[in-house]
Amino acid sequence: MSLTVFLMFGVFALLLIIGVPISISLASSVLAAIIFDPSITLSFGVIAQRMYGGLESTSIMAIPFFILAGNMMTKGGISRRLVDFANSLIGGVRGGMGYALILACAFFAALSGSAPATVIAIGVMLYNDMVRLGYPKERVAGLLVVSGGLGPVIPPSIIMIVYATITNASVGDMFKSGMLIGGLIVVVLLGVAAVFAKKEKWPKEEKGSFSMKKLGTSFVRAIPAILLPVIILGGIYSGLVTPTESAVLAVVWAMLVSLFIYRDMKPKDLWPIIIDSAKSSAMILFIIASSTAFSWLFAYSGASAALVSAINAMNLNAVMFAFIVAIVLLIFGTFLEGIATAVLMVPILWPVAQALGMDVIHFGMIVSISNVIGTMTPPVAVNFFAAASVTKLKMGQIAKGQLPFFIGYVAVFLVVVFVPQLSTLLISR
């Protein structure tokens, strides 16, 4: 057993270091264990069969659909309407555009489910204007990185679908919990922004003063976009559609809005969007397929059961274990891409959490939020890269501006870890 685990994790780490793609590194480490561990008498065919098993699922099909819907909305003129709406909601107060940035990210998060997509779509719309008006650029870039982190927490969320597929948790319950915790993060970020708006004297936009007429107009223009989460969540909670089917409805609605209501997209734009979305989806789903083979061999070798017994012998309580899991996931998230961290670690850690009596939704929220924090912490920090490409600032500058908002985000994460009731507050059992 120990040789199997050593080969699996050792080869995986080595291949990652030399730049082999994550999905191939995962599957190749399984292949290495089968070839070099004499105690394993399996054929290579088992890897292909397990990968096939990982893909033969209707629930993970929601991932390509949400990616496609998000891409259509991003390229179909949605961000502009959301930014206008957010601006008209809080315009005129000191630091108003800072608050608008947070709200626009929250609205966009309810459509996209991806953190870097949120950073880019909103950053491109707001960053230059905010800097021109006199907002400190490092602070705006930092706020962008952390607000982009609302993407995978506010539903729909790709990471939550992946998690629910692995653990058989209810996607609907994960989304409900995400709504509450996402809302809490928005409030905390608004609070931190208010403190810094006063301390750093962020500008007050005279032109942007609040008016009911402006709010009404921008709201009407944003309605088709705002309806998308209503369709997704309303469909799921009314029981009319499954989460995967709601994702298909999101695709159809996003296409209709972009082509016929906003008219920012033409029919000829559809094909490249479909191909781009197919490639992004393949990347995530192939990691899931490879990790299915990886976690299967981990369980087959007996390592999974041994880990459960070892942690049980430590007499940890559920909250202490949750804290340890959070630390482990944060460390992994610093070096690995979010989905890869989840598909690699959840099958290993969830049986232990289950044995300790942890709630599946609570554990899922820890996984999801730690995943997002990973996108804000170098070296593998996609939100950072996205913000750097929008703002053209150096990583160090962004990190400096990000710190207070990041601390706020981590504070909410710790509350989620230590107060399990928060994750399950909206869920009826």
Partner 1 sequence: MRTTLKWLQRAENFIMGGAFIIMVAALFIQVVNRNVTKLALPWPEEVAVYSMIYLVLLGTEAGLRDGTQIQITAIVDRFRGRVKLGIQIVARLVVVAFSGAMAYASFGVIAAQAQSGQTSPVLRLPMYVPFGAFLLAFTIIFLVQGYALIVLVKAFIANDPDASVGVVPDSPDEVEEITAALGLNETADSEGAEEKR
Among positions 238-267, residues that touch partner 1 (CB under 8 A) are 240-241, 244-245, 248-249, 251-252, 264-265
218 binding partner 1? (CB under 8 A):
no
Query: Is residue 147 a contact partner of residue 175, using CB atoms and an 8 Å limit?
Result: no
74 binding partner 1? (CB under 8 A):
yes
106 binding partner 1? (CB under 8 A):
no
Site for partner 1 in 373-392 (CB under 8 A): 379-380, 386, 389-390
Distance CA 158, CA 177 (A): 14
Site for partner 1 in 77-96 (CB under 8 A): 77, 79-80
**Residue in 227, 275, 310, 414 binding partner 1, rule: CB under 8 A:** 275
Q: How far is the CB of 47 from partner 1 (least distance, A)?
A: 7
Helix axes 338-355 and 267-300, enclosed angle (nearest 10)? 40
Query: Is residue 60 a contact partner of residue 243, using CB atoms and an 8 Å limit?
Result: no
399-411 burial string, b = 16+ CB within 10 Å, else e? bebbebbbebbbe
Q: How far is the CB of 204 from partner 1 (least distance, A)?
A: 26
Nearer to partner 1, 197 or 393 (CB): 393
313 binding partner 1? (CB under 8 A):
no
**Residue in 48, 187, 230, 414 binding partner 1, rule: CB under 8 A:** 48
- The mark string for 324-353 relative to partner 1 (x by CB under 8 A, - otherwise) is -----------x-x--x-------------
Nearer to partner 1, 61 or 103 (CB): 61
**Residue in 4, 5, 7, 23 binding partner 1, rule: CB under 8 A:** 23
- Coil, strand or helix at 94: strand
Nearer to partner 1, 79 or 423 (CB): 79
What kind and span of H or E run contains 276? Answer: helix 267-300
154 by Cβ neighbours in 10 Å (0-12 / 13-18 / 19+) ranks as: buried
274 binding partner 1? (CB under 8 A):
yes
Q: How far is the CB of 358 from partner 1 (least distance, A)?
A: 29
Distance CA 402, CA 194 (A): 15
Residue 94's DSSP bridge partners are: 204
CB-facing half-sphere around the CA of 167: CA atoms within 13 A: 33
**Residue in 1, 24, 190, 324 binding partner 1, rule: CB under 8 A:** 24
Q: How far is the CB of 388 from partner 1 (least distance, A)?
A: 10
**Residue in 33, 121, 146, 360 binding partner 1, rule: CB under 8 A:** 121
15 binding partner 1? (CB under 8 A):
yes
Q: How far is the CB of 295 from partner 1 (least distance, A)?
A: 18
Distance CA 181, CA 115 (A): 16
Site for partner 1 in 157-216 (CB under 8 A): none
Distance CA 386, CA 378 (A): 12
Q: Binding residues for partner 1, how many (CB under 8 A)?
A: 71
> CA quadruple 195, 196, 202, 207: dihedral positive or negative?
negative
**Residue in 5, 8, 22, 160 binding partner 1, rule: CB under 8 A:** 22
- Residues 6 or more apart whose CB falls under 8 angstroms from that of 428 comprise none
Q: Which amino acid type is present at position 94?
A: R
